[in-house]
Amino acid sequence: MAEIKLKNLTKRWGDFVGVDDQSLDIADKEFLVLLGPSGCGKTTTMRMIAGLEEPTGGEIWIGDRMVNDDLPKDRDVAMVFQNYGLYPHMTIFENIAYPLRVRGVDKADIPERVQKAAEQVELTQFLDRKPKALSGGQRQRVALARAIVRTPKVFLMDEPLSNLDAKLRVTMRAELKHLSRELQITTVYVTHDQIEAMTLADRVAIMKHGVIQQLGTPDDIYNDPANLFVAGFIGSPAMNLINGSVQDGMFVTTGGTRLVKVNTPDRAAAILGVRADDMQVHEQGQGDIDVTIYAFENTGESTLLTVQWGKQRVIARGDRHLRKDQGDVVGISLNSDHLYLFDPETENRIGM
Amino acid sequence: MTGKQKKQFWNLIQTTLILIAMFIMLVPIIWIFLAAFKTHVDVYQLKLFFTPTLENFATVFDDPYRLGEKLVNSTIVALVSVVIAIPIATLAAYSFSRFSMRGETMMLVIILATQFVPAVVIILPFFVMFRDIGLLDTRLGLILVNLAIVMPFAIWMIKGFIDGIPMDTEEAAMVDGSSRLQVIRNIVLPMAAPGLVTSAIFCFIIAWNEFLFALILTNKNAVTLPIGLALFKGEEGDLWNLLSAAGIIIMAPMFVLALMIRKYFVQGMTMGAVR
């Protein structure tokens, strides 16, 4: 049981900045997801917590101990790797037992504890096999079992699901969530998959270029994005970002369409953000604005309309029973409760 | 020709080519095998049918040739060289593979470059040094020389095998609670085992066959098998039957080792560590 504190953590390789002076407090038993595109510093941050990478500056605290100078083995963490990192020359039993053996756990206790961990991830019938005889999903379970066989202070998971196929990923995601609720151990989870982040996290830290862009609950980052990057990164389809300006309390697109009332002083340049789900699709003439359909997609659970809006294309979500074709004209209205304004210069959110 | 006939035709050509290649390579060895069991008189006749004799093998171990001593020398020198070289080379290779050091590439290149220096160039300094410190004509001297010969080779070869071990596996072991040495012992060595065995066998073969240094640096006590071959000169010319018998004794371990290497080479390296 432990909280993690990162204080002004920095990692540089020569001129390249991997993690730039970041501070982060992770509460005891919290499930924190580090989310971002590749190269954003999320994995580096995790590897520094594990002790596999040495920070250029700053401090890492696990519990009430500064662990900067501790070897990975002395930090009492367990880690699940993207490529599983199994020991190919050992059986599954020995793989799971390794952390116990190498830490000098009483030999008599080992079989029972391995059995228990294997049960938690439903692996009991494979214990005498070697990793190469297992499928990807099963190997990932072995890696998980190896992590939960001890009770470490911290779990670290580095994109544990990204090597699995899409269907298995959904199953494993639910199992992970279930397991983490059961175990109640502080967890740091790295991913580039926003769905994983949204579904698993207590809090999400979105990173870009080594800097945390926003730290908050999944609700916070979805409904209250701090800047353009977060707004564009979270949500599928991505949030529509419309260029324009604010004149007389109205948002006016670059094409000159007076679109919607916004509660903010006039400004020459602004970006309006609106999610596909926050737009209503109507028949022609019944919405705020009439637009021509560029592409109509039926996903089964809903329909996606890519519409030509002046020079820009915008995606709106329609009812699952809606049937239109490209070239048709529809009316669109915006839900003014869920509009976001951003400053194109600073990319930060503007209050409204 | 039908497809089947075509295939048979190509198979025939393949087999023929392989047989020709084998014939070219094996003729001298076959000749030696035959000569080893012939009497001195029969050697110069190219007949395939003769009364085989084991007398040559007895003679080479007897006075004045005493091949047994050379066999002991060769075995000790080659074995000890390998036993010392492989652990040191493994640690060096691990360091080269896993740590970044100042001048790492330079060091690796220098280590490799020693292999390109012709032995005759450095044999004189070795001779003078060994004479001054009393290592001339000793097994220890030969072991030192062989170490210098096989170590660069072993480092490069083992480094290749260690490079093939995924970093994830080692890092997992470290997070699981292993020290660096435990990682090497529990993870790296078992996973690199086929590579280590292969390297050890190659090194043994090199040391076993080493001729030039042994020729210059030994004369009586530490003479090895390849040098021992030079003893079989009589007043009537080369004693081919004895030479051949000694040749078989030198070659026998090589055949066994070649078979072992084949087994290890086939074995997969990472064995399902990733995906």
What's the CATH code of the domain at B75? 1.10.3720.10
Judgement on whether residues A103 and A226 belong to the same structural domain of the protein: yes
Q: Is the pLDDT of residue B211 over 80?
A: yes
Within 10 angstroms of residue B266's Cβ, the number of other Cβ atoms is 8
| Planar angle of CA A202, A204, A208, nearest 5 degrees | 170
Judgement on whether residues B207 and B259 belong to the same structural domain of the protein: yes
Judgement on whether residues B136 and B201 belong to the same structural domain of the protein: yes
Element (H, E) at A58: strand A57-62
Judgement on whether residues B10 and B118 belong to the same structural domain of the protein: no
Predicted pLDDT at B66: 87
Judgement on whether residues B89 and B22 belong to the same structural domain of the protein: no
The rounded distance, in Å, linking the Cα atoms of A206 and A197 is 9
Predicted pLDDT at A216: 95
Domain range for A327 is 240-342
Q: Is residue A352 part of a domain?
A: no
Predicted pLDDT at B266: 56
Q: Is residue A351 part of a domain?
A: no
Chains A, B: CB pairs < 8 Å: 90
Judgement on whether residues A26 and A175 belong to the same structural domain of the protein: yes
Omega before B152 within 30 of 0, i.e. cis:
no
Look at chain B and report how many structural domains it folds into.
2
Q: Is the pLDDT of residue B130 over 70?
A: yes
Give the DSSP per-residue string, A77-110: EEEE-TT----TTS-HHHHHHHHHHHTT--GGGH
Give the DSSP per-residue string, A214-276: EEE-HHHHHHS-SBHHHHHHSSSSPPEEEEEEEETTEEEETT--EEEE--S--EEEEEEEE-G
Using alpha carbons, select from A243, A250, A313, A307 the residue that is nearest to residue A280: A307
Domain boundary among A233, A248, A282: A233
Q: Is the pLDDT of residue B133 over 60?
A: yes
A102 at interface of B, judged by CB pairs closer than 8 A: yes
Q: How far is B197 from chain A (nearest CA, A)?
A: 16
Chain A residue with minimal CA distance to B270? Answer: A88
Using alpha carbons, select from A270, A260, A246, A249 the residue that is nearest to residue A347: A270
Q: How far is B273 from chain A (nearest CA, A)?
A: 5
Q: How far is A218 from chain B (nearest CA, A)?
A: 29
Chain B residue with minimal CA distance to A134? Answer: B272
Q: What share of chain A is helix, strand, coil (3-state, %, to 5)?
A: 30, 35, 35
Chain B residue with minimal CA distance to A138? Answer: B275
Q: What is the mean pLDDT of residues B8-27?
A: 93
Collect all residues of chain B within an 8 Å Cβ-Cβ radius of residue A134: 272
Predicted pLDDT at B275: 32
Q: Is residue B56 part of a domain?
A: no
Q: How far is B182 from chain A (nearest CA, A)?
A: 8
The rounded distance, in Å, linking the Cα atoms of A136 and A86 is 11
Residue ranges of chain A whose pLDDT lies below 50: none
Judgement on whether residues A132 and A68 belong to the same structural domain of the protein: yes
Judgement on whether residues A164 and A86 belong to the same structural domain of the protein: yes
Collect all residues of chain A within an 8 Å Cβ-Cβ radius of residue B182: 102
Nearest to A89 among B177, B191, B275 (CB): B191
Using alpha carbons, select from A174, A166, A114 the residue that is nearest to residue A136: A166
Judgement on whether residues B149 and B13 belong to the same structural domain of the protein: no
Judgement on whether residues A158 and A176 belong to the same structural domain of the protein: yes
Name the amino acid, one letter, at B128: V
Judgement on whether residues B172 and B79 belong to the same structural domain of the protein: yes
Q: Is residue B49 part of a domain?
A: no
Predicted pLDDT at B1: 62
Domain boundary among A187, A208, A233: A233
Q: Is residue B262 part of a domain?
A: yes
The rounded distance, in Å, linking the Cα atoms of A101 and A80 is 18
Q: Is residue B13 part of a domain?
A: yes
Predicted pLDDT at B265: 59
Look at chain A and report how many structural domains it folds into.
2
User: Chain centroid to CA B24: how far?
Assistant: 22
Chain A residue with minimal CA distance to B177? Answer: A73
Q: What is the mean pLDDT of residues B10-18?
A: 94
- Average pLDDT over all residues of chain B: 87
Judgement on whether residues A210 and A280 belong to the same structural domain of the protein: no
Judgement on whether residues A212 and A274 belong to the same structural domain of the protein: no
Residues of B with CB under 8 A from a CB of A: 166, 168-169, 171-179, 182, 186-187, 190-191, 270-275
User: Chain centroid to CA A250: how far?
Assistant: 34
Domain range for B12 is 3-36
Q: What are phi and psi of A46, to 5 degrees?
A: -65, -40
Cross-chain Cβ contact A102/B169 below 8 Å = no
Judgement on whether residues A86 and A225 belong to the same structural domain of the protein: yes
Higher pLDDT, residue B231 or B254:
B254
Residues contacting residue B200 through CB under 8 Å, at least 6 positions apart: B82, B86, B154
| Planar angle of CA A209, A276, A308, nearest 5 degrees | 100
Dump pLDDT digits (tens) for A66-112. 999 999 999 999 999 998 999 999 999 999 999 999 999 999 999 99
Strand-pairing partners, residue B123, are none
Chain A residue with minimal CA distance to B182? Answer: A102
Dump pLDDT digits (tens) for B36-87. 888 887 877 777 777 788 888 888 888 888 889 999 999 999 999 999 999 9
Q: Is residue A54 part of a domain?
A: yes
Residues contacting residue A229 through CB under 8 Å, at least 6 positions apart: A206, A208, A213, A347
> What ipTM goes with this model?
0.83
Q: Is residue B199 part of a domain?
A: yes
Structure token pair of residue B174: 């470290």
Predicted pLDDT at B269: 41
Cross-chain Cβ contact B186/A77 below 8 Å = no
Domain boundary among A233, A261, A295: A233
Dump pLDDT digits (tens) for B152-204. 999 999 998 899 888 989 999 999 999 999 999 999 999 988 889 889 988 99
Judgement on whether residues B132 and B189 belong to the same structural domain of the protein: yes
Q: Is the pLDDT of residue B271 over 60?
A: no
Judgement on whether residues B9 and B105 belong to the same structural domain of the protein: no
Q: Is residue A350 part of a domain?
A: no
Judgement on whether residues B138 and B18 belong to the same structural domain of the protein: no
Using CB atoms within 10 A of its CB, is residue B169 exposed (0-12), middle (13-18) or buried (19+)?
buried
Predicted pLDDT at A1: 62
Dump pLDDT digits (tens) for A233-247. 998 888 999 888 898
Q: What is the mean pLDDT of residues B242-247?
A: 90
Q: Is the pLDDT of residue B272 over 50?
A: no
User: Chain centroid to CA A71: how far?
Assistant: 28
Judgement on whether residues A147 and A247 belong to the same structural domain of the protein: no
